[in-house]
A and B are shown apart, each in its own frame.
Chain A
Amino acid sequence: MKMGKQQTGTDRSERRFTKTLMVSAVLIACLLFAIALTLLIESIPAIKTFGLGFFIGKTWNAASEKFGALPFLVGTLLTSFLALLISIPFSIAISIFLGEYFKEGALSTFLRSSVEVLAGIPSVIYGLWGLFLLMPLARAIEIRLGVPPHGVGIFTSSLILAIMVIPFSASIGREVITLVPSDLKEAAYSLGATRFEVLKNIVIPYARSGIIAGILLALGRAIGETMAVTMLIGNSNFLPTGIFSPANTMASVIANEFAEATGIVSSSLIYIALVLFLVTMLVNIIGNYIIQKISIEASKEVT
């Protein structure tokens, strides 16, 4: 009798416990949907007014209430891709260094922890540093090239973004390179291949999709980066004319104008935020999918 009662008590706690866990999990899913839904609802006025033409509209003019997001789209894409372009040689070098040449040892630990520190420095500090070191540097370059020496602009922002995303692609690159099965490499060595040849013909082709996934995730990070870019991009709402011209990214225009935006401006900015959200979502899902597939394949080959 007593035993039975205790059992039901346990059962109840048991049910309550599993329910709590499930509710928490469901809540996280709900949180994401609520975010998407809020952005969607708040941007409906802008979507209705401008539709998809929003993304080919070249003017962003509060006075005439004409809003087009093309300048920010171009600004975001230019800064992000330029940053990737600059960062790729470095991040791949770090990946190979840590994943192949120096898998362990003091040198490896040093480089690895340094990269981790680099990843942990807050964005606003990158911005501060860029303001006082990169800006004069960019000005000097611009004077030499004979373009207007603003110091701030797409070029400067790309530089700081490149530094900020190196740790991301590098750490993923390192992981996928270490996943390359050693029997493949050993087979190549036994045929007399040099390390360079093994890397070129075995490791890189094998890890290629993982390295690409790492770059993709770095892209997602670069697209959404706000503070450092806002401080260094020059905040111009026009279509950039070159890599040295001032511009605005989707994230920086929100940071600059959201506090004072009313009505249709506010809605347009949230529309931009919605797109930013969807784009980073897509990039992250694809990147993570590739990495997951690789690690599953690798674990299959080990067994």
Chain B
Amino acid sequence: MFKLFKSLCIVALITFALFAGTELRAADQELLGAGATFPQPLYSKMFDAYNQQYKVKINYQGIGSGGGINQLTKKTVDFGGTDAFMTEKELKAAGEEVLHIPTCLGAVVVTYNLPGNPKLNFTSELIADIFLGKITKWTDPKIAAANPGIKLPDLPISVVHRADGSGTTYIFSEYLTKVSPEWKEKIGTGKSLNWPAGQIGQKGNPGVAGYVKQTPGAAGYVELLYALQNKMPYGNVKNKAGKIIEPTIKAVSASANVSIPDDTNVSLTDSAAANGYPICSFTWLIFYKEQNYGGRSLERAETLAKMLFWVVNDGQKYVEPLQYAPLSKEAVAKAVKIIRSMTYNGKPILK
């Protein structure tokens, strides 16, 4: 029995070692990323295609932008995804230099669950008042005033926001901070906010969309694609120029028609463009500039750099079918330049 036990242990150890030995090399052909759920449907499609083409497995888990930044900082992932450019404090906490590359543009839409799926128009005050908890019923005269002729049910509004640290929240709150002084004073901009009491929190874009879809009278904010894929209605928003804009690829691209700084840190919310949708943003992948850390091999760094290069070039063909807006030529050029600045032991990774 003792012998049996001993031999069992040995067998276990050998299998363990075999696993470790054979898989460690192959492990450099695998990458782990985590973060934003805003572009997750796109990444999920892109990485599926990338795996079929290059046999490189890229595992991306949507845990929210806050989670993506944190796990990159803790060096538990190869790259992170975020829809909010890292703050000074976060960059400092990361220790070494972290780079951002934009991958696509997306719109945050206000989605709701009402009988008959009416198309609603929102003004910035209306959105702020709903999410501040000042408008509590769909029959509120302010909603009716913005939507003449639409009959709204006598339902209370179940406001749902993100429970996790979210870039979608950041984009949404940045917009409201710009347009509503009251929002700026009471709530402000951030990935995690001090929301008014009595609201529901859900994890990730899927969680918010799932709750809205299941609850009559609910209202929440998600990336456009989540509303489209689930045939959920979403509102048009009055932009700075006073036009009512439907969130589309074109309207997002119109907002994105600005010059981009070298680090690609640019805010697109409340755009002055006449046909621009006001609640939209780039979404970024983040990674360390110097890739030789935590015992990473050169091969692994190369795998990462190649994948990033593919995402901003060939990978862009998957962007539009999923209703995200593709990067402009200028943005791609800036992103490529950033990827080329990645180093391993101080030497550039991509030649």
Chain A positions near chain B (C-beta within 8 angstroms):
17, 59, 61-64, 131, 135-136, 139, 148-152, 234-239, 241, 245-246, 248, 256-257, 259-263
The reply on B64 being an interface residue by CB < 8 A is yes
Q: In the complex, what residue of chain A is closest to B2 when comparing beta carbons?
A: A17
Contacts A149-B156, A260-B66 given; does A234 touch B193 at CB 8 Å: no
Within 8 A of A (CB), among B153-173: 156, 158, 163-165
Which residues of B lie under 8 Å from residue A135 when comparing CB positions?
A: 214-215
> For the complex, what is the distance from the CA of A17 to the CA of B1, rounded to whole Å?
12
B69 at the interface (CB under 8 A from A): yes
* Bound: A64/B190 CA distance, A: 11
Chain B positions within 8 Å of A, measured between CB atoms, are: 2, 63-64, 66-71, 73, 93, 156, 158, 163-165, 188, 190, 192-195, 197-203, 211, 214-215, 217
Known: A135-B215, A261-B70. 19 other contacts (CB 8 A): A63-B190, A148-B198, A150-B200, A150-B215, A234-B201, A235-B200, A235-B203, A245-B198, A246-B199, A246-B201, A248-B201, A256-B203, A259-B67, A259-B164, A260-B63, A260-B64, A260-B66, A260-B68, A263-B93
> Is A262's CB under 8 angstroms from B192's CB?
no
**With A152-B200, A246-B198 given, is the CB distance from A256 to B156 under 8 Å?**
no
Taking a contact as CB atoms under 8 Å apart, the answer to whether A236 and B217 are in contact is no
In the complex, A151→B203 CA distance in Å?
16
Residue on A with the closest CB to B157? A148
B93 & A262 in contact (Cβ 8 Å cutoff): yes
Chain A residue at minimum C-beta to C-beta distance from B76: A259
Is the pair B202, A235 in contact by a Cβ cutoff of 8 Å?
yes
Residues of chain B lying within 8 A (CB to CB) of residue A234 = 200-201
Docked CA distance A64–B193 (Å): 10
* A-B interface contact total, Cβ < 8 Å: 87
Partner pick for A150 among B158, B163, B193, CB 8 A cutoff? B158
Report whether A260 and B202 are in contact in the complex, using a CB–CB cutoff of 8 Å: no
Q: Which of B163, B198, B214 contacts A256 (CB 8 A)?
A: B163
Which residues of A have CB within 8 Å of B190? 62-63
**Chain B residues whose CB sits within 8 angstroms of the CB of A263 once the complex forms:** 93
Minimal Cβ-Cβ distance residue in B for A13:
B2
B164, A241: Cβ atoms closer than 8 Å: no
CB-defined contacts of A260 to chain B, threshold 8 Å: 63-64, 66-71, 164-165
Known: A63-B190, A151-B215, A256-B203. A238 touches B198 (CB 8 A): yes
Write the chain A residue with the least CB distance to B90.
A262
Q: Judging by beta carbons under 8 Å apart, are B70 and A63 in contact?
A: no
Considering residues B69, B164, B200, B211, which has the most beta carbons from chain A within 10 angstroms of its beta carbon?
B200
User: Do A256 and B93 have beta carbons less than 8 Å apart?
Assistant: no
Q: Give Cα A239 to B156, complex, Å.
A: 21
8 contacts between A and B (CB under 8 A): A62-B165, A62-B192, A135-B215, A150-B158, A152-B200, A236-B195, A259-B71, A260-B164
Query: Is B158 within 8 A of A149, CB to CB?
Result: yes
A177 to B192, alpha carbons, bound, how many Å?
Answer: 51
Task: Name A256's closest neighbour in chain B (CB-CB).
Answer: B163
Known: A63-B190, A148-B156. A236 touches B198 (CB 8 A): yes
CA distance A257 to B66 in the complex (A): 9
> How distant is B296 from chain A, measured CB to nearest CB, in Å?
22
Contacting pair B197 A238 (CB below 8 A): yes
Residues of B within 8 A of A148 (CB): 156, 158, 198
Which 9 A-B pairs have CB atoms at the shortest separation, nearest pair first? A235-B201, A260-B66, A260-B67, A235-B163, A238-B197, A62-B192, A259-B67, A260-B165, A61-B194
